[in-house]
Chain A
Amino acid sequence: MSNAPKALFDKVWDAHVVRKIEDGPDVLFIDRHFIHEVTSPVAFLGLENRGLNVLFPERTFATADHNTPTINQHLPVQDPLSANQLKALEQNSAKWGISHWGLGHQKNGIVHVVGPENGITLPGMTIVCGDSHTSTHGAFGAIAFGIGTSEVEMVLSSQCIMQPKAKKMRINVNGQLNKGVTPKDVILYIISQISASGATGYFVEYAGDVFRNMTMEGRMTVCNMSIEMGARGGMIAPDETTFAFIKGREKAPKGEAWEKALAYWKTLKTDEGVVFDLEYSYNAADIEPMITYGTNPGMGIGITKKIPTSSEVKDGKASYEKSLNYMGFHEGEEMIGKKVDYVFIGSCTNGRIEDFRAFASIVKGRKKADGVTAWIVPGSHVVEAQIREEGIYDILTEAGFQLRQPGCSACLAMNDDKIPAGKYAVSTSNRNFEGRQGPGARTLLASPLVAAAAAVTGKVTDPRELI
């Protein structure tokens, strides 16, 4: 054993390498595998075609989220194709003995919300799912990332995937965050600095007091969007905040096993002296509430700033103009005051209790603006129950908002929650791609505070004016 300093990422990765292939990928053992209805059916079909079995069914967890309706979940799903996928997930899970939290199950919710909620996600694990926002689980000091359906089939049949080890990047943010600046603003700021492809080929570790001082919900929001700068994933070293969050959750280790795990988890941090392949440092004080104006998550600015001119951006002029054209925006315009038609709060990025608390903090005592349609979608039934218990439900209802049922919803608009063509949506989700929230929909990514400010004013508004 060498005593050379090791990065958190290396510690966890190296502990899971079953075999190294010369001039090829590592065979990586996967501790936990999440599946959902959209990216798993073809993988199960593949198993059948090859005559293979699920090797370790107890390591895979199924939940329905991507195309589930967010109202009337007690009724049969109307869309026959969605219903068929949900049925396939249920049948495949039953056939192979995989835990399945289907529509209506009390533990059902968005896969990246329910995993941590139930203590399935733990520090030091390798976690994959056929969903790019699997990076969320990195908040616990796990190596977690999205995989394709062929890899889902690999994990089902062998509990391994084959991938080359990524390069290492560290992103430090130090200092005190300004009023009205949330974890979502921190990550949108980082992506705006690094660009939508700037971390491609890297695995990111987030370090510095800003992340140390964040709650687990906040850390999950940050790690969730690692993929939006192209990173394989992002992670934060576990600490007392992490351990306190996990302790007592259903599938978390208990008693002696807890003590043993804890001792190991405390070693999961980057040693002094590790050199990263790339390192960035930012000042918390430079970050203001963020909003995006374009069609990739790197196209974000401080809410009081003006849309950059094509000479100020790195992307090609033609692509930049195409993007602004789609959004119906012009170079040099202010974002403040722009009309908003829809507001969406939810998703694996901002669908946790803390996000609804933030939203409610601005909505309280105000009314939903006329002309704004708001979709308020908890990340899970557990979050939904918390919203009711904490009185947030009453605040929302009094302000004229309706609470929907859990699911991915308008983040990717696979169900009926689609933003109509040409309409503007302030969304707490993770992608502002063309048509992401419905064909022709125009998405402005922002924090729950910015979303709340838009919901009560009907336009892009600096939330600091309402706090």
Chain B
Amino acid sequence: MAYDKFTVLRSSAVPMPIENVDTDQIIPARFLKATKREGFGDNLFRDWRYNSDNTPKQDFVLNNPIYSGKILVAGKNFGSGSSREHAAWAIYDYGFRCVVSSFFADIFKNNSLNIGILPVTVSPEFLDKIYTAIEKDPKTELEVNLPEQTITILATGEQESFDINGYKKHNMLNGFDDIDFLQDIKDGIKTFADTSLY
């Protein structure tokens, strides 16, 4: 499924200064039973967001109306654990297009890039600066500029650059995905397969 192009995103952000947020928190396994990619946002952070009687937990950040936006800012080792792409789908379906953290788990990062969520890795110091800015003004905006590979706290002008490989960057700027690419080189793959030992 090719996705929306990502160029420059300006948005307020939702802070979640918790470390090691694993994919079972992002979407618990019992909500993985769909056969279509629909409605996963409703169960994003399900057990942190809702009580067992399905009433919202007031102290959870997604239930706090002062925070909103298309950017999620989270603690280090975000997305650890399972390979479930449902975690990235839930984040996307909820409305986030970018996750900022000082460290991402590997598979989650891959999954995000594959569906059009931009994972932005910043230094721990810059992450703290973002939290401070949001604390000061929950509506403060961040600018994530993919062509320039920069993230800026607009209120203070503080900026950091981030890494992304050229291939993935090109894909995200154009809304292409790996499946498109692989279809284009299928003949080469078939030739390779002919020499396979297994």
Residues of chain A whose beta carbon lies under 8 Å from any beta carbon of chain B: 18-19, 21-25, 27, 29, 31-32, 38-39, 41-42, 45-46, 49-50, 52, 55-56, 66-67, 79, 81-82, 84-85, 88, 122, 124-125, 130-132, 134, 146-151, 153-154, 157-164, 166, 196-197, 200-201, 227, 230, 232, 261, 264, 295-296, 315-316, 318-319, 322, 412-414, 421, 431, 433-436, 439-440
Kindly list chain B residues whose C-beta atoms are within 8 Å of the C-beta of A19: 185, 188
Please tell me which one of the listed residues A24, A42, A147 contacts residue B165 in the complex, with CB atoms under 8 A apart. Answer: A24
Verify B37–A42 contact, CB threshold 8 A.
yes
- With contacts A19-B188, A85-B35, A232-B106 taken as known, whether A131 is within 8 angstroms of B24 at the C-beta atoms is no
Verify A322–B18 contact, CB threshold 8 A.
yes
Verify A433–B22 contact, CB threshold 8 A.
yes
Please tell me which one of the listed residues B81, B85, B177 contacts residue A149 in the complex, with CB atoms under 8 A apart. Answer: B85
Kindly list chain B residues whose C-beta atoms are within 8 Å of the C-beta of A31: 196, 198
List 4 tightest A-B contacts by C-beta distance, closest first.
A24-B167, A23-B166, A146-B83, A148-B85
A-B Cβ contacts below 8 A, count: 206
Does B136 sit at the interface, judged by CB under 8 A?
A: no
Does B66 sit at the interface, judged by CB under 8 A?
A: no
**A42–B36 alpha-carbon span in the complex (Å):** 6
Verify B77–A200 contact, CB threshold 8 A.
yes
CB proximity to A under 8 Å, residues B1-20 = 1, 17-20
- With contacts A163-B110, A316-B75, A435-B47 taken as known, whether A150 is within 8 angstroms of B177 at the C-beta atoms is yes
- With contacts A19-B188, A23-B165, A413-B29 taken as known, whether A197 is within 8 angstroms of B80 at the C-beta atoms is yes
**A423–B1 alpha-carbon span in the complex (Å):** 41
Verify A164–B106 contact, CB threshold 8 A.
no
Kindly list chain A residues whose C-beta atoms are within 8 Å of the C-beta of B190: 55
Verify B20–A132 contact, CB threshold 8 A.
no
**A67–B29 alpha-carbon span in the complex (Å):** 9
Known: A46-B1, A55-B190, A130-B84; 15 extra A-B contacts, CB below 8 A, are: A25-B165, A25-B168, A29-B193, A42-B34, A130-B83, A131-B82, A148-B110, A157-B179, A161-B178, A230-B80, A318-B17, A318-B18, A319-B18, A414-B32, A431-B24
Summarize A's interface: helix, strand, loop or mixed. loop
Kindly list chain A residues whose C-beta atoms are within 8 Å of the C-beta of B84: 38-39, 130, 148
Kindly list chain A residues whose C-beta atoms are within 8 Å of the C-beta of B82: 131-132, 146, 412, 431
Give A45's nearest chain B residue, CB to CB.
B36
**A161–B189 alpha-carbon span in the complex (Å):** 11
Minimum CB–CB distance from A246 to chain B (whole Å) comes to 13
Kindly list chain A residues whose C-beta atoms are within 8 Å of the C-beta of B30: 413-414
Does B62 sit at the interface, judged by CB under 8 A?
A: no
Kindly list chain A residues whose C-beta atoms are within 8 Å of the C-beta of B103: 197, 200
Verify B197–A264 contact, CB threshold 8 A.
yes
Kindly list chain B residues whose C-beta atoms are within 8 Å of the C-beta of A434: 22, 24-25, 47
Q: Can you pick out 30 interface pairs between chain A and chain B where the beta carbons lie within 8 Å of each other? A: A19-B185, A22-B166, A31-B196, A32-B198, A38-B32, A39-B32, A39-B84, A46-B1, A52-B179, A52-B183, A55-B186, A55-B189, A55-B190, A81-B33, A85-B33, A130-B83, A132-B82, A149-B111, A150-B179, A159-B193, A162-B167, A166-B106, A200-B106, A264-B197, A296-B20, A434-B24, A434-B25, A434-B47, A435-B25, A435-B28
Please tell me which one of the listed residues B75, B111, B189 contacts residue A148 in the complex, with CB atoms under 8 A apart. Answer: B111
**A159–B194 alpha-carbon span in the complex (Å):** 12
Verify B114–A148 contact, CB threshold 8 A.
yes
Verify A67–B80 contact, CB threshold 8 A.
no
Verify B182–A56 contact, CB threshold 8 A.
no
Please tell me which one of the listed residues A132, A160, A421 contacts residue B52 in the complex, with CB atoms under 8 A apart. Answer: A421
Verify B29–A162 contact, CB threshold 8 A.
no
- With contacts A31-B198, A154-B182 taken as known, whether A296 is within 8 angstroms of B168 at the C-beta atoms is no
Q: What 1/0 mask marks residues of chain B from 164 to 180 whose CB sits below 8 Å from any chain A CB?
A: 01111000000001110
**A147–B109 alpha-carbon span in the complex (Å):** 11
Kindly list chain A residues whose C-beta atoms are within 8 Å of the C-beta of B133: none
**A7–B83 alpha-carbon span in the complex (Å):** 26
Kindly list chain B residues whose C-beta atoms are within 8 Å of the C-beta of A49: 1
Minimum CB–CB distance from B59 to chain A (whole Å) comes to 12
Give B186's nearest chain A residue, CB to CB.
A158
**A151–B130 alpha-carbon span in the complex (Å):** 33
Kindly list chain B residues whose C-beta atoms are within 8 Å of the C-beta of A132: 81-83, 107
Verify A25–B32 contact, CB threshold 8 A.
no
Please tell me which one of the listed residues B24, B35, B76 contacts residue A433 in the complex, with CB atoms under 8 A apart. Answer: B24
Verify B20–A196 contact, CB threshold 8 A.
yes
**A150–B92 alpha-carbon span in the complex (Å):** 14
Give B76's nearest chain A residue, CB to CB.
A197
Minimum CB–CB distance from A2 to chain B (whole Å) comes to 21
Minimum CB–CB distance from A277 to chain B (whole Å) comes to 15
Verify B85–A412 contact, CB threshold 8 A.
no
Verify A197–B32 contact, CB threshold 8 A.
no
- With contacts A41-B35, A85-B33, A319-B75 taken as known, whether A158 is within 8 angstroms of B189 at the C-beta atoms is yes
Verify A158–B183 contact, CB threshold 8 A.
yes
Kindly list chain B residues whose C-beta atoms are within 8 Å of the C-beta of A160: 182, 189
Verify A414–B25 contact, CB threshold 8 A.
no
Minimum CB–CB distance from B86 to chain A (whole Å) comes to 8
Verify A439–B47 contact, CB threshold 8 A.
yes
